[in-house]
Amino acid sequence: MSGNIFGEIFKVATFGESHGAGLGCIIDGCPAGISVDEKFLQHEMERRKPGAKSAAVTARKEDDLAEILSGVFEGKTTGTPIAILIRNSNQHSSDYENIKNKFRPGHADFTYYKKYGIRDYRGGGRSSGRETCARVAAGAFAKMFLKSLGIQIFAYTKEAAGIKSGKVDFSEIEQNAMRAADKDAAALMQKKVEEFKQKKNSCGGIVECVVKGLAAGFGEPVFDKLDAVLSHAVLSIGAIKGIEFGSGFGCADSNGLENNDFMGSGFSFETNNAGGILGGISRGDDIIFRVAVKPVPSIYLSQETVDVNGNECDILIEGRHDVCLCPRIVPVVEAMTAITLADMVLRNRSSRV
């Protein structure tokens, strides 16, 4: 299998499966001398891990302890590859025994089987959302690097189960189970998600991400435009089905006079319809994008499908699954954004004398 490495200089490779011995990542190209805060690393893992007290989140309980195997000495990165291991400890592989020969609707079961001729039916193996724990571990190191440059990343649930946020207060994000930036909307989201759970169904939503502190001039202007690479990074998260920057698809109903962001003194922009990026290069104000998160495909209702022989059959998925992925995808979106920006910062250092 190829395609497990992301980045040009700050490179991240992930490995492992949902029900295997563990998962992990190797970070190559991380500069030496970065102060490593292991408490921060574990905090980031806690934000993504399952078992939270929320109707939206799976009951699977994993410690998700990030074990640093190499690349750090006396609290600083050494410039050598950083290896991190996260061991699995709470797999219930028997939950999948009765459906091992059936393809789950909405999952990658069928496409993996057609590509490789074999698949790990225990939670999807490599295609499981559990793979993202390794991304979050790598993203924590990228964030530590970006912090030294004054760059901050804030992702939050903007919409879930049809409930939209009306305001944005970053201080509220970690204060509610939905990771919304609007506490009133968060309460309504949680209530609606609980209704979906009672109906044995699932729901989707929208996550917004804001990058602050990135100076103008980052991004490669042709194939590796900053928005293009961010899209690559974020769309590689399994449940995300769409992305837009700034005014996004709304610009299709606009005109040039309305959509252009006029500049003022000090190279400032009066509006941000471009999402902070022009010609694939950051322009110095906030980078803003939104992603569409699909409903969790594992629902507790009977569905029509086929087996590995192509025979029609019904499937009833058991086990432990999320109802709405938005709260747990928030730290993953931040991680992939951080990895992308860390790579772009390092690439920029060779752009001119």
What DSSP assignment string belongs to 126-179?
A: GGSGGGHHHHHHHHHHHHHHHHTTT-EEEEEEEEETTEEP----GGGGGGSTT-
Is residue 92 helix, strand or coil? coil
Q: pLDDT (tens digit, 9 = 90+) per residue, 65-117?
A: 999 999 999 999 999 999 999 999 866 666 677 888 999 999 999 999 999 99
**Coil/strand/helix, residue 116:** helix
Q: Is 347 annotated as a binding residue?
A: no
Q: What is the pLDDT of residues 102-113, one digit of tens each?
A: 999 999 999 999
234 is in an annotated binding site: no
Integer CA distances (angstroms), 343 to 9, 224, 292, 338, in order: 6, 11, 24, 9
165 is in an annotated binding site: no
257 band by pLDDT with thresholds 50, 70 and 90: very high
- Please give the pLDDT value at position 123: 74
State pLDDT tens for residues 42-58. 999 999 987 655 656 66
State whether residue 241 is helix, strand or coil.
Answer: strand
What distance in Å separates the CA atoms of residue 228 and residue 221, rounded to the nearest whole number?
10
SS3 123: coil
Has 213 been labeled as part of a binding site?
no
Q: Is 320 annotated as a binding residue?
A: yes
Mean pLDDT of the chain: 93
Cβ–Cβ under 8 Å, residues 153 and 211 = yes
pLDDT for residue 56? 63
The reply to whether 127 sits in an annotated binding site is yes
Does 171 appear as a known binding residue? Answer: no
Task: Classify domain 5-348 at the CATH superfamily level.
Answer: Chorismate synthase AroC (3.60.150.10)
Question: Is the model's pLDDT at 60 over the cut of 60?
Answer: no
Residue 298 marked in a binding site? yes
